[in-house]
Amino acid sequence: MIELVLTLCLLENPQKCREEGLTFSAENLTPMQCVMGAQPVIAQHMELRPRWACRKWRCRPAGMYAKA
């Protein structure tokens, strides 16, 4: 599985940021496919978060990193 990790920052306070992970359940999805398909997924995700801006994003294998 692949995880798309977004770094979101508040528009009114750009120093306040958080990470959100979106996990794709397709077992044969490659990191390159994640990168190529990320922008529409990010746009849809951000429609629900009008007070936040996506500062950066990345794809990585899911389940390999502990949540803080």
Position 67 scores a pLDDT of: 55
Q: What is the pLDDT of residues 15-53, one digit of tens each?
A: 999 999 998 777 788 888 999 999 999 999 999 999 999
- The edge-to-edge listing of strands for the beta sheet with 2-10 is 17-24, 2-10, 52-61
pTM over 0.85: no
SS3 31: helix
- Write down the domain spans for the chain: 2-61
Position 66 scores a pLDDT of: 55
According to DSSP H, which parts of the chain are helical?
31-47
Position 41 scores a pLDDT of: 93
φ, ψ of residue 32 to 5 degrees: the values are -65, -40
Q: What is the pLDDT of residues 4-21, one digit of tens each?
A: 999 999 999 999 999 999
SS3 67: coil
